[in-house]
Amino acid sequence: MGQRAKQFIILFLLVFFSFIFWLSLATLLPNLSWDLTPQLISVFVSAFVFTVLWAVVLALFERLSSVVGAWAVVSYGGVAWFQSHVFIIAASLLFFFGIIGFLRARSEMRNTLHGGLWRPLRKGVPIVITFFIVVVASAAYLKAPSSTLTLEEIIPKKFFETALFYTEPVIQSVDPDFARDKTLEEYLKNKILRKAPNASEVEIGLLVRETIRERQEVFGSSLSADQVLSDVLYRGSINFLNRTVVVVNDYLPIAFAVALFVSLRVLAFPFCWLSILIAIAVLKIFRRFGIVGLREIPANVVLYTFTNKI
């Protein structure tokens, strides 16, 4: 198989998985929910495969002219589903910085000895991931109307409980009586006994009921003595955020887009390095089977040294 045919296959796969990504994203966002597992998996898998393919393109394609057409299709492909000036601007940024990333990677490739791939790919992959996230955030701003953005869907209880599990030791360093699986009654009794160790059962019971009644006004939801603290905190947090959201409801879509960008950018760190490692492994496999090879070029290495003039 000739070089052009191999290049065509790689670029076709790049465009194909970008199409799957945009299609999955367009299906997911209007009905945003963590229950849409197939769509979430499709978005993640297509994004990951696309990133690996982009790293392969950076390593194998030497001329920008052979990539720019496919990259334009990738960058602007989402316009078919997200028709807005905001999205077109974000897609243009992706296109522009994708080209910048390609040129940076190729420049680093020429200055890297022994055909190393890690440093060149670090020049071209993270920047593309960042602006891909910008495009995704703009799509979320356009396609996720505020009526679908219930806080229970954005922050599922199981995610909240997972976060609470990891932060529990920190909370206990401040409040030793806290335990996420402890009931509200047990927690309040412990707090009361710390302050009044000689209090009777009747006095403790009255204080517990009075405290629960006061907490209901603060949390804005009904509380029962047998509720576990994780549930109390979750319901209280959701109710507090709901009251806040009512005030800034008009700004919720853009706030959601910004929060999504920040969250995805944090998650992109391991995502990026894993995709680079997979791409390097794929290239080594390709080399083993003779699909790709190595070509030596003269390296212009400039070093500082002493002179004989002064």
pLDDT digits (tens, 9 = 90+) for 210-223: 887 777 766 656 77
CA distance 56 to 285: 12
Cβ contact 91:76 at 8 Å: yes
Q: Could you read off the pLDDT of 247-269 as tens digits, one per residue?
A: 555 666 777 788 788 888 888 88
pLDDT 10s digits, 181-213: 888 888 888 888 888 878 788 888 888 888 877
Helix axes 157-174, 229-247, angle to 10 degrees: 110
pLDDT for res 306: 43
Structure-block tokens of residue 160: 């909240």
Whole-angstrom CA distances from 213 to 144, 208, 241 are 37, 9, 21
Which band of pLDDT confidence, cut at 50, 70 and 90, is reported for residue 69? very high
Task: Extract the tokens encoding 91.
Answer: 């897609």
pLDDT digits (tens, 9 = 90+) for 270-310: 999 999 999 999 988 988 888 887 766 665 555 455 456 66
Asked if residue 87 lies in contact with residue 67, where contact means CB atoms within 8 angstroms, the answer is no
**Across the strands, what pairs with 186?**
none
**Alpha carbons 126 and 75: distance in angstroms, whole number:** 16
What's the CA gap between 74 and 71, in Å, rounded? 5
* DSSP state letter for 225: T
Q: How confident is the model over 77-128, as pLDDT tens digits? A: 999 888 889 899 999 999 999 999 999 988 887 776 555 788 888 888 999 9
- Residue 102 CA to residue 108 CA, distance in Å, equals 10
User: In the chain, pLDDT over 70 holds for what percent of residues?
Assistant: 84
Mean pLDDT for the stretch of residues 147-172: 78
